[in-house]
Chains A and B, each alone.
Chain A
Amino acid sequence: MATLLRSVRQLVPGLALAVTLAGGAVAVPEGMPPARLVRIPGGAYVPLTRTTKDPAQINVAAFLLEERPVTNAEFLAFVTANPPWRRSQVSRLFADSSYLDYWAGDLELGARAPAHSPVVRVSWFAARAYARWAGRRLPTTAEWEFAAGAGYTRPDGRNDEQLNRDLYAWLARPVPDLQPAAGRGRPNFYGVRDLHGLVWEWVDDFNNAMVTGESRGDSGLERDLFCGAGSVGAKDTTDYAAFMRVALRSSLKANNTTTALGFRCASDATP
């Protein structure tokens, strides 16, 4: 498997090559450098919900996380280099019918998809394919939540009142017609931006959001997050935003896309 992966990476052209292959038809947007990888030191992540059989905490090894979500322009370079991921060609198995439907065309962003705004309406399959093409991967839930658990000035953001105000102000607003540019949010303690307050983000193991182990039947899995039962077994019942992220991940299938769901990439930290 590892050998296969390596050979795949050798075969997949990088961004610059992709643009060349497209014969210069797609302009690389000016003014925004590639997403910088920020080093997140390791630490313990306490999952929002767990059963008595699950570990009390998950140890997250140090990793690298992109400073901001992937933009429309970056995703355009990806679909340019990978025709099967273009809107008109993608299989419904991998992306539902609203995949990239706010773009003007297969290879045209148009007025509703500003180049530097986060790409949305992408499926988990597409996000994952992008990450592999870029030589990176999607962060795990534990990694994403660990990084997003930081406040503006502290590694533990739970009592960061300004962060909470910003977060709920975002939740209080409907999805805007035009997403603002990525990378403009206030950096958190680690220097990562837009984890809260721009778009929801895919994680690699999103589908484990409510999988709580063998101790409950299939039908019990989702019920535990509905109504008052949602707080049973939760470590911190006052973290409403975390409940919303879990609920969103739980509602999704891997080929789904929504108007406020994008992603960013991560990478293993080199020791």
Chain B
Amino acid sequence: MKTSRLPATTALLLGLTLLAPSNRAAEGPTDAKGLVPLTPDVLALPVEQAILTSAPHVPPPIKRRYAARVVVNLEVREVVKRLSDGVEYTFWTYGGGVPGLFIRIREGDVVEFHLNNHPSSKLPHNIDLHAVTGPGGGAASTFTAPGHSSQFTFQALNPGLYVYHCATAPVPMHIGSGMYGLILVEPKDGLPPVDQEYYVMQGEFYTTGKYGEEGLQSFDMAKAIDERPPYIVFNGSVGSLVGDKALTAKVGERVRIYFGVGGPNVTSSFHIIGEIFDTVYPEAGLSLPNHNVQTTLVPSGGAVAVEFKVDVPGTFILVDHSLTRAFNKGALGMLKVAGPENRVIYSGKEIDAVYLGAQAEAGSESAKREAELKSQIAAEIKSNPTIAGLTKEMQIEKGKQVYMGLCFACHQPDGKGLPGAFPPLAGSDFLLADHERAVRIVLKGLTGPVTVNGQTFNSVMPPQEAVLTDAQIADVLTFVLNSWGNKGDALSAAQVKAIRNENH
């Protein structure tokens, strides 16, 4: 203490201050014990810096067949990022994104772990690595105030794929803000070689606004306690693994996905549409593989490693097969496989024949009312130039965001649908013939055969009336009716509302 530099009065004040009871500057929970004395055999180990990667990428396999001292540096940052188009959220992250950086080590490694909490953080954080044998999984040892750094050392005793997460109270909010990731402890003999490795984690977000509601969203404690998340997503945002961000592979390659669930609450029925997992390491133990699995259940705070060979080209959809999560909450990704077709394994559509199912009866009460409404709405549009004019451009932009968050999964980003499964919207005679019918289908869903451009589709579209607002439906249909060569009017929220209420 530089007492000599302090004037008498201040020194006295400080003296009094230091008499405060249970002064934790000297000892307490955050107090460091000092560096662990390493034994000669540990000191003899080669030292290396861990390579950490952002999802969906995975660090390269570990080639060495001996233990090492591995230094891991992980930075905690609180950042505002995109949760969905037009929707932002303050994520608390390990390394700047959700999920946290992927850590890859080998069984027997001695890990020198540094957790650095950025000075701009509002809160203290820590890390509980499920790969750690010791109280709290490192939580107490890494409890770190904003603008501080903690270090602890552990030895990886058990191979496996493990979740790590923040364990600072209130834990559900820390995990619910994105504080989780995976650490892979490779077995001593390594894992079987594959051609592609990917990193995907599922987690849910409890926003104050409903799905798609624009703006910076806050954490909603009541929804978290009731376990009612508006978002359940892969890799921290809606659409993180679609379009040009999709996972990729070539026909004939073997793919391994390290899949974890951060939670904080919701388990996953992980499934890839159109693929069968050749090998699953259930609960990510990496020792007793199961084979030929369709859907694997992954607990919150747990993980799985799945392997499969891709035999045919196309787009394969990753989902939580609790499917409203995929359709309505964002739990959807894509694996795009390029290469030559193999029509013996998968032929594509071979025959398309006409099938006459029940159709809506012409001249019925509802058809009359429909015609009546139609003329009313047409008159309304004519008398109100703002509906058809200035707002249309904006509606198309907003509608595109809704489409790319929800509809594209079936109808595809180019609006062309999937032959034999989901009808096209681009140039669709069925769609363009009757806009109110389109609104009704979006609201109420559609089951049973429809003929679009001469092709019959017999599929199911889920109702969106509980998911989308009137304005969102008007926007998305305005987008659809004015995209991919379609030319149409703008629809208004009032029109949608009228149709939503027509049976009440």
Per-residue B-contact encoding for A203-219, CB less than 8 Å = 1, 0 else: 01101101100000001
Cα–Cα distance between A248 and B221 once the two chains are bound (Å): 19
Cα–Cα distance between A258 and B168 once the two chains are bound (Å): 17
Cα–Cα distance between A222 and B29 once the two chains are bound (Å): 6
Cα–Cα distance between A21 and B119 once the two chains are bound (Å): 35
Q: Which A residues lie within 8 Å of B135 (CB)?
A: 219, 223
A260's partner among B128, B146, B168 (CB-CB below 8 A) is: B146
Q: Which A residues lie within 8 Å of B29 (CB)?
A: 210, 221-222, 250
A257 contacts B147, C-beta separation under 8 Å? yes
Per-residue B-contact encoding for A160-180, CB less than 8 Å = 1, 0 else: 000011001101111100000
B121 contacts A175, C-beta separation under 8 Å? yes
A208 contacts B22, C-beta separation under 8 Å? yes
Say which one of A4-12, A33-41, A67-75, A108-116 lies at the interface with B.
A4-12
**B139 at the A/B interface (Cβ < 8 Å)?**
yes
Known interface pairs A207-B28, A248-B124, A251-B30. Does A172 touch B147 (Cβ–Cβ under 8 Å)?
no
Per-residue A-contact encoding for B1-30, CB less than 8 Å = 1, 0 else: 110011111101110110011111100111
B139 contacts A226, C-beta separation under 8 Å? yes
Per-residue B-contact encoding for A237-249, CB less than 8 Å = 1, 0 else: 0101001101110
**A252 at the A/B interface (Cβ < 8 Å)?**
yes
A247's partner among B12, B31, B124, B140 (CB-CB below 8 A) is: B124
Per-residue B-contact encoding for A126-137, CB less than 8 Å = 1, 0 else: 001100110000
Say which one of B211-219, B229-237, B321-329, B491-499 lies at the interface with A.
B211-219
A226 contacts B126, C-beta separation under 8 Å? yes
B120 contacts A168, C-beta separation under 8 Å? no
Q: Which B residues lie within 8 Å of A243 (CB)?
A: 169-170
Residue in B80, B126, B208, B221 with the greatest tally of chain A CB atoms within 10 Å: B221
A90 to chain B: closest residue by CB: B2
B171 contacts A172, C-beta separation under 8 Å? no
**B173 at the A/B interface (Cβ < 8 Å)?**
yes
Known interface pairs A12-B9, A243-B169. Does A98 touch B147 (Cβ–Cβ under 8 Å)?
yes
B1 contacts A230, C-beta separation under 8 Å? no
Cα–Cα distance between A253 and B14 once the two chains are bound (Å): 16
Instruction: Give the distance to chain B from A244, nearest Cβ to Cβ, in Å.
Output: 6
Q: Which B residues lie within 8 Å of A240 (CB)?
A: 170, 172-173, 221
B126 to chain A: closest residue by CB: A226
A168 contacts B124, C-beta separation under 8 Å? no
Q: Which B residues lie within 8 Å of A207 (CB)?
A: 22-25, 28
Cα–Cα distance between A219 and B141 once the two chains are bound (Å): 10
A227 contacts B128, C-beta separation under 8 Å? yes
A247 contacts B168, C-beta separation under 8 Å? yes
Number of interface residues of B (CB under 8 A): 61
Q: Which A residues lie within 8 Å of B259 (CB)?
A: none
Q: Which A residues lie within 8 Å of B136 (CB)?
A: 223, 226-227
B78 contacts A211, C-beta separation under 8 Å? no
A168 contacts B221, C-beta separation under 8 Å? yes
B169 contacts A230, C-beta separation under 8 Å? yes
B140's partner among A164, A168, A222, A259 (CB-CB below 8 A) is: A222
**A84 at the A/B interface (Cβ < 8 Å)?**
yes
Q: Which of A34-70 contact B (CB under 8 A)?
A: none
**B144 at the A/B interface (Cβ < 8 Å)?**
yes
B14's partner among A125, A168, A250 (CB-CB below 8 A) is: A125
A230 contacts B170, C-beta separation under 8 Å? yes
Q: Which B residues lie within 8 Å of A221 (CB)?
A: 29
**B148 at the A/B interface (Cβ < 8 Å)?**
yes
**B255 at the A/B interface (Cβ < 8 Å)?**
no
B17 contacts A129, C-beta separation under 8 Å? yes
A221 to chain B: closest residue by CB: B29
Residue in A172, A230, A238 with the greatest tally of chain B CB atoms within 10 Å: A172
Cα–Cα distance between A253 and B32 once the two chains are bound (Å): 11
Residue in A82, A89, A251, A255 with the greatest tally of chain B CB atoms within 10 Å: A251
8 A-B pairs with CB atoms under 8 Å apart are: A4-B16, A11-B9, A132-B13, A168-B220, A175-B122, A210-B29, A238-B225, A251-B124
The 10 closest A-B pairs by CB, nearest first: A251-B124, A230-B169, A207-B24, A222-B29, A172-B218, A258-B146, A243-B170, A243-B169, A251-B145, A240-B170
